[in-house]
Amino acid sequence: MHRFPAAFAVIGVISLAVAYADDAPPDKRAKVVLCWVESKQIIGLTEDKGFQSTCDPKSIVYPHKKPALVLTAADVEETRLTKHDFSESGSPGELYSVTFHFTKAALAKLAATCESLDSRELTVVVDGKYWGVHRYEKDKDKPSIPEEVRAETFRPSVGYLTSKAEAERLANAFK
């Protein structure tokens, strides 16, 4: 699958974030699941409809029907809310992201759903909305792999949200 430089990925994620209105009721607890994705539809395994994973309109991925992990408070050790200011780039001024830090037990549950030692990709689904694609590396011996994508220290994030209230709702969902 062709990948674009990080700058294009940020622009694409910002575009997707703005496209998804932060429309969940503020008092509703966020439902967050992780789903493996495939580069093509696999009948019976993946959803019938995929979603665009980068700025390239041809970069469609298909989430698995069955979640790899449905997050609960017991799975999330910590959430970190970060404010980003992209106003100098012409994008909406303040955007927010939430990073998930999982417990060792949750990391083990997720690893058990990954059958391959090869690099995989998954998406974070919040209240039925797909939030990007995250690389996941199960191979402990593979060199030069960032800590946040390694299976034993995996930390996906959701962003960029236009509403601080929505970001706080997500960050507080596991307290």
Quick: pLDDT tens for 80-104.
Answer: 999 998 888 877 678 999 999 999 9
Beta strands in 3-150 (DSSP E): 32-38, 51-52, 60-63, 69-70, 76-85, 94-102, 120-126, 129-136
Global pTM reads 0.81
Per-residue model confidence (pLDDT) at position 27: 59
Per-residue model confidence (pLDDT) at position 97: 96
Class of domain 6-22+30-174: alpha beta
The neighbour count for residue 44, using CB atoms within 10 Å, is 5
CA trace torsion 142, 143, 149, 151 (10° rounding): 40
Q: Where are the domains of the chain?
A: 6-22+30-174
Is it the case that residue 8 has pLDDT exceeding 80? no
Quick: pLDDT tens for 14-39.
Answer: 444 444 444 555 557 899 999 999 99
Per-residue model confidence (pLDDT) at position 117: 74
Give the bridge partners for 23, in sequence order: none
